């Protein structure tokens, strides 16, 4: 006996649409089972995790704060993945973007001008793009696997930030804590509304998502991305350059991750410190796939994944379970998204030996 994945003759449109929702539902069911095993009331825990954070204005603001970097990074990654370039190192590009964007407020804390914020954002994007250029260069020059190089560069970026804030950039008046000086008020991204902490990064995320959706849907550039992603040879026949696409997609996703990094530091934290991200760059990979690599879908999936972060924090307090539960939820979600997508295209068949021949009439 064996199990076969058999390609379906037709792909159901209905299930293609509801697949992410189905994945979400399965995650909730298995999440409930997990809570039950942990000895917590399953339904009550799910309520704390996924409903309570949506009931108050301040926590809706928190949701936007957490969703902003996820969406910004994920829309960039979606272009990468569509073009068959596997940038796994957005976390590192996020970190480097945060560092290069912070150069002005850290080194020139006395500079008070409206120009400082736009410059910080631009420098953050340049930093993220430059960091993504390393795997792009290695791939185009030496045919190196970008999955490995971009991933390894994440840890280098993290340690570099650690060294900076403990060493040269440490605030001398900071009681020896590994933090930089707090940014001057002109270097802090303003809040969108008076009612809470949500800041301009969320606007950046929405603009980026809509712009890239337009590009993918209506522009020749988006067409190039899809063609080269599906067949490099067909892309070459069309006269599109796969090398240039490596550069385009890596620099774009790097720049957006860098923008997410400096926005997070400038808008949410207000200074540099060793830990500036709860793994946004990795979670954004899940966001990208849950959003079906569609920039508009990513807005929705970014909000869902942001909710797992908020729920995780709430669950620590209310249910006294580890914040690792958020990671478990994210992992389950990715697993179910990918499984649902597979089962849309394939059906599972059990093949029992000896049942293939049908008796024929003599």
Partner 1 sequence: MTLSEGPVAAPLLSVRGLTKLFGSFAACNAIDLDIAPGEIHALLGENGAGKSTLVKMLFGVLQPSAGQIVWQGQPVTIGSPGEARNLGVGMVFQHFSLFEALTVAENIALSLDPRISLSKISDEAATLSKAYGLPLDPKAHVADLSVGERQRIEIVRALLQNPKLIILDEPTSVLTPQEADRLFETLFKLKAEGRSVLYISHRLEEVRRICDRATVLRHGKVTGACDPKQETPASLARMMVGSDVAEVLRDGGAALGDIRIEVNNLSVTARTPFAVALKNVSMKVRAGEVLAIAGVAGNGQGELFDALSGEYPVAEDEAIRIRGKAVGRTGINGRRLLGAGFVPEERHGHAAVSAMALSDNLLLARSQSDKKAFLAGGAFSVIRFDAIRSATKRICEAMDVRKSGEDPQAGSLSGGNLQKFIVGRELDRQPSVLIVNQPTWGVDAGAASRIRQALIDLARSGSAVVVISQDLDEIFEVATNIAVISEGRLSEPHPAETLTLERIGLLMGGIHESQSIAENASGAEAAHAH
Q: How many angstroms separate the CA atoms of 249 and 129, rounded? A: 10
Choose among 252, 81, 103: nearest CA to 260.
Answer: 252
Contact, 4 vs 351, CB < 8 A? yes
In terms of CB distance, is 12 or 195 closer to partner 1? Answer: 12
CA distance 186 to 67: 24
- The structure tokens 């942990």 sit at 38
126 to 100, 182, 285: CA distances (angstroms): 8, 22, 21
Please give the biggest Cα pair distance in the chain: 98
Nearer of residues 59 and 140 to partner 1, judged by Cβ: 140
What's the burial of 156, exposed, middle or buried (CB within 10 Å: 0-12/13-18/19+)? middle
Minimum separation from the CB atom of position 78 to partner 1 (A):
17
C-beta of 285: minimal distance to partner 1 in Å? Answer: 23
User: What is the Cα–Cα distance from 90 to 128, expressed in whole angstroms?
Assistant: 8
Judged by beta carbon, residue 39 or residue 239, the one nearer partner 1 is 239
**At closest approach, how far in Å is the CB of 125 from partner 1?**
20
Instruction: Yes or no: say if 66 and 267 are a contact pair by the CB < 8 Å rule.
Output: no
Contact 231, 245 (CB under 8 A): no
Mark out the alpha helices in 83-145 (DSSP H runs).
90-101, 103-107, 116-142
- Contact positions toward partner 1, by CB under 8 A? 6-10, 218-221, 223, 226-227, 230-231, 233-234, 236-239, 351, 353-354, 356-360
User: CB-wise, 195 or 231, nearer to partner 1?
Assistant: 231
Contact partners, residue 108, CB within 8 Å, separation at least 6: none
Distance CA 185, CA 176 (A): 23
CB-side exposure of 312: number of CA atoms within 13 Å?
18
Q: Of 160 and 223, which CB lies nearer to partner 1 in the complex structure?
A: 223
Nearer to partner 1, 173 or 358 (CB): 358
Least distance from C-beta 288 to partner 1, angstroms?
A: 19
Burial class (CB in 10 A: 0-12, 13-18, 19+), 210: middle
Quick count: other Cβ atoms within 10 Å of Cβ 130? 17
Nearer to partner 1, 294 or 308 (CB): 294
Which is closer to partner 1, CB of 127 or CB of 229? 229
Task: Give the residue with the Cβ less far from partner 1, 131 or 240.
Answer: 240
């Amino acid at each position: 006996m064996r199990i076969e994945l058999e390609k379906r003759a037709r792909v159901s449109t209905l299930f293609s649409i509801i697949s992410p929702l189905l994945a979400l539902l399965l995650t909730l069911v298995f999440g409930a089972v997990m809570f039950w095993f942990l000895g917590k009331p399953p339904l009550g825990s799910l309520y704390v995790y996924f409903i309570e954070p949506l009931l108050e204005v301040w926590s809706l603001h928190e949701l936007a704060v957490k969703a902003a970097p996820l969406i910004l990074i994920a829309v960039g990654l979606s272009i990468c993945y569509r073009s068959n370039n596997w940038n796994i190192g957005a976390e590192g590009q996020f970190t480097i973007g945060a560092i290069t964007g912070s150069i002005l407020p850290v080194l020139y804390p006395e500079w008070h001008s409206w120009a400082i914020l736009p410059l910080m954002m631009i420098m953050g994007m340049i930093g993220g793009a430059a960091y993504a250029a390393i795997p792009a260069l290695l791939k185009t020059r030496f045919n190196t696997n970008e999955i490995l190089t971009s991933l390894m560069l994440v840890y280098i970026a993290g340690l570099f930030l650690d060294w900076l804030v403990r060493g040269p950039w440490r605030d001398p008046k900071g009681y020896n804590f590994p933090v930089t000086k707090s940014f001057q008020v002109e270097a802090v991204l303003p809040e969108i509304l008076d009612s809470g902490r949500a800041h301009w990064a969320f606007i950046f995320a929405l603009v980026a998502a809509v712009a890239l959706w337009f590009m993918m849907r209506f522009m020749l550039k988006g067409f190039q991305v899809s063609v080269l992603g599906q067949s490099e040879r067909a892309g070459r026949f069309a006269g599109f350059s796969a090398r240039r696409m490596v550069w385009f997609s890596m620099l774009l996703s790097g720049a957006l991750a860098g923008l997410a990094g400096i926005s997070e530091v400038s808008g949410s934290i207000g200074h540099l410190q060793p830990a500036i991200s709860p793994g946004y760059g990795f979670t954004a990979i899940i966001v990208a796939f849950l959003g079906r690599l569609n920039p508009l879908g990513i807005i929705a999936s970014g909000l869902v994944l942001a909710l797992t972060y908020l729920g995780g924090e709430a669950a620590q307090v209310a249910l006294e379970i580890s914040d690792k539960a958020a990671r478990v939820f994210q992992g389950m979600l990715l697993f179910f998204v990918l499984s649902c997508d597979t089962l849309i295209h394939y059906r599972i068949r059990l093949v029992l030996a000896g049942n293939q021949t049908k008796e024929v009439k003599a």
